[in-house]
A = this chain, B = another copy of it.
């Protein structure tokens, strides 16, 4: 009679985790060598010592192996944003949520940059990034509408604000990636959100 639940996942769970990790590792290594399009799922599987069929049991598509942690991330983002604090403005609440996320990016800088290089060179991967962002927009829009008590079917602004804030986040992250992880995310994010908050035509833009 070993540990009953949750703690110490058990051999079966650990093996699954290992297989998954080996697949991700093999995929990144091969992609880095030859590029996404010149590596087949069968090769990744072979390098990880499992059958091709098993690869597709772990990842629905070849693209997905590049984003092994995105589902968890999404869960955390959802949680972070679902209950925006009422003692802060919406923008300020979103800014803090985005900062939490961007710090995670900085913590796994090498992975993020390797991924970014692959994505840049591979259209079908860019697609996935955009789809993930779409989901963020939905989460953000729901959160904003809830926080402000607006009906998202009536009022354009929750969706609009969400789309705009996520677009700003993307612009900042793109710049961070182009800087090789050197740029200061927090500062750029602040700048961007201040700019948005004060109006696009403001400052010396015109």
Contact = CB atoms under 8 A, between A and B. Distances in A.
A160 B156 contact: no
A199 B131 CA distance: 27
A157 B205 contact: yes
A164 B161 contact: no
Interface in A145-179: 148, 156-157, 159-161, 163-168, 170-172, 174-175
A147 to B, nearest CB: 10
Contacts of A202: 199
A201 to B, nearest CB: 5
A89 B156 contact: no
Q: How many copies does the complex hold?
A: 2
A90 interface: yes
A91 B206 CA distance: 9
A188 interface: yes
A122 interface: no
Nearest to A129: B130
What size tier do the contact residues of chain A reach?
35 or more
A205 B144 CA distance: 10
A195 interface: yes
Given A130-B134, A134-B130, A192-B156, A201 B163 contact: no
A134 B119 CA distance: 14
Contacts of A170: 163
28 contacts: A89-B201, A90-B200, A90-B205, A90-B206, A91-B201, A123-B131, A127-B131, A130-B131, A156-B171, A156-B175, A156-B188, A156-B192, A157-B195, A159-B174, A159-B175, A160-B171, A160-B192, A160-B196, A161-B205, A163-B167, A163-B168, A163-B170, A163-B171, A164-B164, A164-B200, A167-B167, A196-B196, A197-B200
